[in-house]
Amino acid sequence: MIANSNPYDELMAFQRDTEALEEVAGRLGWDQETMMPEGATDQRAAERAAISKVIHARNTDPQISDWLARAEPQDDVAAANLRLIRRNHDKMMKVPARLAAEIASTTSKAQSIWAAARQAEDVSAFLPVLENVVALRKEEAAALADGGDLYDALLDGYEPNTSGARIADMFASMRPRLVALREAVLSAKAPMILSGHFDETMQLQLSAELAQAFGYNLDNGRIDKAVHPFSSGSGQDVRITTRTNPADPFNCFYSTIHEVGHATYEQGIDDAHFLTPLGRGVSLGVHESQSRIYENQLGRSRAF
């Protein structure tokens, strides 16, 4: 340990390296879904398991507890970073390294199996690995829950500090209006359907123009095709994917706009928080609110 060193600064330097490795792990996932050779599935699963072990070891490093005990936040940003690091450290200490690596390996293989099963419209080909994933996630939930509700334990990773009961109450309050909206839509006259064959290259070209019109910075991003659209990354490298359908160009356009909502949220985070806990979206709910606002409130507006 360096004499007269600042525990907070030491912790943040360590954390930035961990966050960088997590970004690398994310790139492996992005590559798998966009351009990885089909025959590389097993090797990629091993790679993702290996980096998962390294990240888990860093997230559970004993030094973190020492730094957290000695660090004194000088401002609100430091206090927030310490709170989030402590929260993650406490959670990761409950999950065995073996389980973290097995989840990474199995879900990596599951992705490729799912993509092939989807294309073949053969759900039976995916069910065995899905059962394995569910079993592993249940084991993870049991480790995190400390005897509490398993669903709540996993939910916390997506929407912190909420519960299944709270979400059920929210859905119950929304149900009457949603049912009424559904009935109104189904009883209305169906709109005219666009028909024809729409060139994939032209779809992707227009999607790129739409992405930039909605504020997506391609100097720090890129657009590729994937079986199912997703966004990936944070900070200076935020990538999105879309998909095309020769009979339905709007599938491509709205998928792109949706993912741009995710991506511009990440690109809009202050660079000062690059590779820190504050340098990424706060929750899945907030993330989806941004993507849905772009896709529906903006992309489906009459003005647009």
Same domain assignment for residues 206 and 131: no
Same domain assignment for residues 131 and 202: no
pLDDT greater than 60 at residue 248? yes
Q: How confident is the model at residue 78 (pLDDT cuts 50, 70, 90)?
A: very high
Secondary structure class of 60 (helix, strand, coil) = coil
Task: Quote the CA–CA distance of 24 and 52 in Å, as a whole number.
Answer: 10
Q: Is 259 a catalytic residue?
A: yes
Average pLDDT for the chain: 96
Query: Nearest 5 degrees, angle CA 154-CA 24-CA 208?
Result: 95
Contacts of 299 (CB under 8 A, 6+ apart): 253, 254, 257, 258
Stretch 280-297: mean pLDDT: 96
pLDDT greater than 50 at residue 1? no
Same domain assignment for residues 83 and 201: no
Position 257 in a domain: yes
Same domain assignment for residues 50 and 148: yes
Stretch 149-156: mean pLDDT: 97
- The pLDDT assigned to 129 comes to 98
Same domain assignment for residues 125 and 43: yes
Domain boundary among 140, 155, 170: 155
Bridge partners (DSSP) listed for residue 74: none
- Number of structural domains in the chain: 2
Same domain assignment for residues 231 and 281: yes
Position 240 in a domain: yes
Q: How confident is the model at residue 194 (pLDDT cuts 50, 70, 90)?
A: confident
Owning domain of residue 239? 197-298
Stretch 240-253: mean pLDDT: 97
Q: Could you tell me the pTM of the whole model?
A: 0.93
Nearest to 91 by CA among 112, 60, 61, 119: 60
Among the residue ranges 22-36, 88-102, 133-147, 179-193, the one predicted with the least confidence is: 179-193
- The pLDDT assigned to 4 comes to 62
Same domain assignment for residues 52 and 145: yes
- Is the separation of the CB atoms in 291 and 261 below 8 Å? yes
Position 32 in a domain: yes
Cα Rg for the chain, rounded, in angstroms?
22
Same domain assignment for residues 82 and 215: no
Stretch 276-281: mean pLDDT: 96
Same domain assignment for residues 247 and 139: no
- Percent above pLDDT 90 for the chain: 96
* Amino acid identity for residue 249 in this structure: P
Position 100 in a domain: yes
Domain boundary among 102, 130, 155: 155
CB atoms within 10 A of CB 195: 8
Q: Which of 19, 47, 140, 259 is catalytic?
A: 259
Stretch 164-168: mean pLDDT: 96
pLDDT greater than 80 at residue 297? yes
Task: Quote the CA–CA distance of 79 and 194 in Å, as a whole number.
Answer: 53
Position 46 in a domain: yes
Position 291 in a domain: yes
Query: Nearest 5 degrees, angle CA 153-CA 157-CA 163?
Result: 50
